[in-house]
Structure 1
Amino acid sequence: MAFSLGSHFPFLAAYWQPVLLAALAAAVVHLLLERRRARTAAARPAPWRDESVSESAVDPAPPPPAEKTAARVPYRPARLGADEMVRRAEQFYRELNGRRSVRHFSREPVPRAAVEAAIRAAGTAPSGAHTEPWTFVLVESAEVKAAVRQIVEDEERVNYEKRMGAQWVQDLAPIGTDWRKEYLTEVPFLVLAFRHAYGVDERGERFTTYYNEISCHLACGLLLAALHQAGLATLTSTPLNCGPRLRRLLARPDNEKLVLLLPVGLPAADCTVPDFRRKPLDKIMAVC
């Protein structure tokens, strides 16, 4: 028996065109609504994430709940007169303007307490949500310094010969540096600054360290100033590709990433530095 639309579905047989148009319209409306929902979801602000962090594909868990407002204490620093403000600021500038990066060090010992005080000063730096995402490893063992030097020179030789490229090596030529880092075993101390890509609480749970890279850089700046104030010399060394091996050598956890390697000591008696001039104020400051 032949199938007849009119005999089985007389309504559809009579009105199939309007029904088809209605179904198509409903499908189009549904598609437009789904696209709108997708755009809205994409535009909705996502939870904060430090774009510099790519060490883990898993977002760290939120920190334990804290009180709504931290306990407050009075803050009343000494009020200085205008002339004294200017005098102190100018004096601090003159002192820091005497700082230089040093690559030729004396083997003369220096007080460990002075370096520790400088690291305490670094620890006063501001940090995102007061997470203080830094660790400063102080190396004084001759054996460990030798191991650090071996790792750094292994990688730096490859850096200079292959990774850095001709232009980078050429730009470093006026400074007179190469892959050899004798100063790493000459100085009394090495300080290695590690940033915390994420925090780990006492329960072993991860938490976010906001702006950890910037925070650690601020702390390192204070460390340089404090070391110079103590009469100590250093060098901001950032050895390429050495971080993982140095982290393992120093038994640091996976969440810590090397930022800076600083040899710390006194300049050698015959130490020289490039005769560089720093930019004047009108080249580094804009007033609006």
Structure 2
Amino acid sequence: MSDVTEQGDIGLFDAIYTMRAIRRFKPDPVPDALLRKVIEAAGQAPSGGNRQPWRWIVIRSAEGKRMVSDLVKQANAKAAEARAAGQDRRPAPTPAAAPGADFAESLASVPVIVIACAQAPVSQGPWSVGPFGQTFPGVENLLLAARGVGLGGCITTGFRWMAAEFKERLGLPDDVEPTCLIPLGYPLGADGERHGPKMRRPIEELAHEERWGGAISF
């Protein structure tokens, strides 16, 4: 394991309680050693049967980032069409998502884009969701490690409207599926675009004891 760090390693709970979704970045490149460190940390996540189904596509070239940006724009357009047609019944984006309005365009200039993928047999019946979901502990490891060395990032899955096109452009085999996209870089530092304390719902609104609606006693 590399011991490279950009800032003194912070405690785990400090990282958890101060890590924000970062979508705006300084133009400074991410050093190879730091990039390797956070990807290595991602691979330390647990997985069922230690299968380690995650795979990481790391994009740093201008051509690659422009390709991702263009496909995300197309995915956003598809999502808007589906919402207008009543085919996408998810809640409309909240005001908190407003900073992501220009997100697709900004992907062309972020320092690094990491595309998390799951590798698993093409057909697993009811277990197909397993490898897909098991990539996310690795993604969280990656983001916490990034926080620990002064970087930032966020998870986005909207590109899945163009998943087939992503697979083709990235040369992914049939048994590899892209699960989420993570831009990485140094936080720009504007309001709401830096790590720090954040507002979250109290646990009493989120946790239930024994069954749904049961008030917690801890």
Query: How does the TM-score come out when normalised to structure 1?
Result: 0.58
Bigger Rg, which one: 1
* Contact 1:194 1:257 (8 Å CA) reproduced: yes
Give 1:231 shift: 0.9
Do 1:131 and 1:210's aligned partners in 2 also have CA atoms closer than 8 Å? no
Cα distance in 2, alignment partners of residues 126 and 242 from structure 1 = 29
Cα distance, 1:155–1:189 mapped onto 2, change above 3 Å: same
Superposition deviation, residue 269 in structure 1: 4.3
Whose relative contact order is higher, 1 or 2, with alpha carbons under 8 Å and at least 6 apart? Answer: 2
- Contiguous gaps of at least 5 residues in structure 2: 1-9, 208-215
Unmatched runs of 5 consecutive residues or more in structure 1: 1-89, 200-207
In structure 2, the residue corresponding to 1:136 is in which secondary structure?
strand
Counterpart selection for 2:94 from 159, 162, 172: 172
Contact between 1:138 and 1:189, CA under 8 Å: does it hold in 2?
Answer: yes
Higher mean C-alpha deviation, range 240-249 or range 120-129: 240-249
Counterpart of 2:118 (choices 155, 177, 195) is 195
Separation in 1, partners of 2:83, 2:120: 26
Inter-CA distance 147–210: structure 2 relative to 1 (3 Å threshold)? closer
Give the drift of 1:120: 0.9
Match of 2:142 among 223, 240, 246: 223
Matched-pair contact (CA < 8 Å) for 1:145–1:185? yes
Whichever residue aligns with residue 96 of structure 1, its letter is I
Structure-to-structure mapping, 1:59-98, within 5 angstroms: 91-98=11-18
Alignment match, 2:213: none
Q: In 2 relative to 1, CA 209–173 (structure 1 residues): closer, same or farther, beyond 3 Å?
A: closer
When residues 121 and 172 of structure 1 are mapped into structure 2, their CA distance, relative to the original with a 3 A threshold, is: same
- Residues 1:148 and 2:148 are matched in the alignment: no
The answer for the alignment partner of 1:122 in structure 2 is 42
Task: Give the drift of 1:130.
Answer: 1.3
**Superposition deviation, residue 152 in structure 1:** 0.9
Q: How far apart, in 1, do the equivalents of 2:78 and 2:149 lie? A: 35
SS at match of 1:185: coil
Contact 1:106 1:186 (8 Å CA) reproduced: no
Q: Offset of 1:93 from its aligned partner?
A: 2.0
Residues 1:271 and 1:186: Cα distance change in structure 2 (over 3 Å): farther
Would the aligned equivalents of 2:73 and 2:105 in 1 still touch at CA under 8 Å? no
Give CA-to-partner distance per residue, 1:107-149, whole Å, 9 cap, x none.
Answer: 1112122122111111111111111111011111111110111
State the Cα RMSD in Å: 2.9
SS at match of 1:192: strand
Return the letter of the residue paired with 2:34.
A
Specify whether residues 263 and 179 from structure 1 end up closer, same or farther in structure 2 by C-alpha distance, changes over 3 A only. same
Distance 1:120 1:135, change over 3 A: same
Q: Does the 8 Å contact 2:23/2:103 carry over to 1?
A: no
Count of aligned positions? 190
Separation (CA, whole Å) in 1 of partners of 2:174 and 2:42: 22
Letter in 2 for 1:105: F
State the distance in 2 between where 1:103 and 1:255 align. Answer: 30
Which residue among 38, 60, 77 is the counterpart of 1:157?
Answer: 77
Identity %: 24
- 1:242 is paired with a residue of what secondary structure? helix
Partner amino acid, structure 2, of 1:265: G
Rounded to whole Å, the distance in 2 between the matches of 1:196 and 1:180 is 27
